[in-house]
Structure 1
C-alpha cells in the first residue's frame, strides 16, 4: 500500500497516534476532540504546569468540559508530556502554538519554527504534519516545508504537509471544535486528502478542501480582518454619534432590521484576544514583501487601538460633570476579560484602560466573575464582590465586559454614576439620571 493508503487505513481503524503541539486555547480542545474520536493522543507543551494538570485530569480551558477531559485521561486516550521525542510515535502531528506580533507589529514565528525543528528530528515516512496556528500566507510552504525537507524526506512523497486554520471562538456556546467547518489546504492533493480524512473523522462540521496552504492561510486572516475592519467602522461611527448626541446602539438596532446586505457589529472599549487585534497585521506585514500597503487594515488598527484612550477620556469627562477630578476618584470596572462569559484577558483593552487611569491618579478596582485575580505589569489585582455599598460609593462604575453573571438590575439600581460601554443595561432603567452609554 502507498503511504496515503496506510495512513487512511490507520485513521479508519483508530490505530493512529496523534500528537498535538501546544496545549492552549486551540490545542487542548483539539486534543480532547481527537481523543473522543477514538485516537491515542499525546499532547506536547513546554509548560510543565499544563502537562501536570492535564495528566491529573484537571482542565484549565473554559471551552473544554471538565468531565470530558478527565474521561479521556482516565481511559488512557490523552496523555500530556514535555518530551518532544514522543513525536516519533505519531502518525500525525498538529502544530497549535502561538504566533504573536513583536514590538514592531511583525509576526513572531519563532514558536512555529522551533516546533517544526523538533518535529523534523523525529519525522518519518508516512507522517502527516498540520499547521493550525494563525499566520501569514506562505508560512507552511516557506517556513515549515523547508525545515522538514532538510531531513531528506520529500513533501508529498515521503510525508504529508497541510495547513488547516483554527476556528476557536472562546465562550461560543453554539459552535466549537466539534461542529465548526474546517478548511484544509495541503502541499499536494495527497497532503490535502490525508488532512481532510483526519478532520472528517473528528468533526461533525463540513471539511472544505482548498488548492493550497496559502489559500487556507489567507482565508483565515481574511476572516479576522473582516471582523477587525467592521468593528473599526462601528467604533468610528460611535465617536461621531457621541458628538452628534445620537444613540449608536439605536442606530445599529434599526439598521439590522434590513433583511439583506447588513451584518451587525458592535462598538466597545477596544479589541482583545489573540486573533482579531493581531491577525490582520500578518497580512499587512506580508503585503510589504509585494510592495503593497494594506491601508484599510492599518487605519482600522489605529481606530481600534484608540478606543481605550477614548474610554478614559469619557470617564474623565463624566467625572468632571460631577465636579470631580479623575485623580483620587474611585473607578469601578465591571469586567476585565476581553469578551463576555470567558476568563481570557489576553490583549484585553481593559488593561490599557487600567494603566491610563492609574497613571492619572485614579483608584481602580474591579469585579469579574470569571477572573478572580490577575497580574499585570508586576502588580496583582484582586476582584471585589459586587455589593450595593461598592456601587453606591464608587465615583463611577464602568461596564467594560458584559458578563451574563452580573446582576444588571442591581447595578442599574445601586450605582451612583454609570458608564456603560457594552449596552448591557439596554433592558434596564438605571435609577440614577447619571447614566452614560458609549
Structure 2
C-alpha cells in the first residue's frame, strides 16, 4: 500500500516531528494562524505537545494519524465546516473517544456540536481566562478515572437491562425511579451522561428536563431520552428545547443506546469487550437516521440527480426532485414531510441562493436544513451560500461519504420506530 500522503505543514512549526512520549498531545484545527499560535503557546505553557492544522481535511488526517489526547476545533474552516470534521471523527471507532472542544466565532452550531459529542463550545473572541477554562475541561476529561451515569427509570426490568448493557469497571451508574430523586441528585452532583425514560411516576420526562433547565443544577449533562413510544413532532421539538443533547431512541435499540453512551463517556472502543464492539458495529451499519426521511434534491443535471437519488434511496431515504429553485419552492409547498434540502447553486430560472433566501423568508421553512452544492469550492462561493441561509455546503463532484456525514449532522436528530 502507498504511504499516507504527508499532511501540509501549518504556517509555523508544530510538535508533530517530536517522537511520541508520555506528554499529552492536543490538536488545534484553526485556520487563523495568529489564533492557532495563541492556542499553541498556551498548550505549551500548560505542558502539552501541540499539533496544528489550518483546514478540515488536514485536521481529520492529523487526528487519524496521530490520535491526539484532545482536540480544539474551529467551526469555520476554508475547505469545510467544523461540524463535518466533528462528525467524521465521531464516526470513526479510532477517534470517537477523543474529547473535542469547539472554539469558534460561529454561534449557530452549538446545539449540533454538543449533540454530536463535543464536550464544550467557547465563542470567539475569547479571553485568556476562558481559554484556560477550555484546557481545564479537557484536562478533567483526560484525568477522570470513573465516569458517572444517572439513570432515571422506574421499571425494574428496564433499569436492570440498561445497567447490564452499559456497566463497566470505569463506570458508576446511579439509578433512580422518579424525576424528583433525579433533581435531588443533579443539584449536588456532576454526571457525565444521563439516560431517562419519558414516563416517570411523578412527572413526564419533558417536565423533568424543563425543571433541570429552570433550576440551578450543578451541570447539565448530555441527556439520552430512551423511550419505546412514538413521539409527535411537537413532542420532539419540545424535548429538544430543554437540552442541547437529546437523542430519542427506541426501546428496541440497545445497540443505539450503547453507541450514544460510549460516545458521551469518551470510551475507547478498542478496549470494550468484543461483544460490545460487535453491537456498536451493528448500530452503525443500520444508519437508521435515513429511514423514513424525505430529502428534496434540487438540481438541473440529470446525471447528478440519478447518482444522488440512488445513493440516498439505498440508505432508506425517499427523494423528491426539483429542477430549479422555483420547482423547489413548489415542492416544499406540496410535500409536507420534507426533512432536508440538497440545493444545487447553479441552476436556470432561479438559482439555489435565491431559492434558499426565499425559503428563509417563509416562517414555515426558517429552520429547514439546507445543504448547498457548489460547482467549485471557491471561498466566496461558500460565504455566499451561508449568507443566503444554507446550513452547510459541499463541492462537486459530490463525495458520497462526505454527503452522508453532512446529512447525519443536519438531518433532524429524531428516529422514528
Q: Normalising to structure 2: TM-score of the pair?
A: 0.28
Larger Rg computed on CA atoms: 1
Q: Normalising to structure 1: TM-score of the pair?
A: 0.27
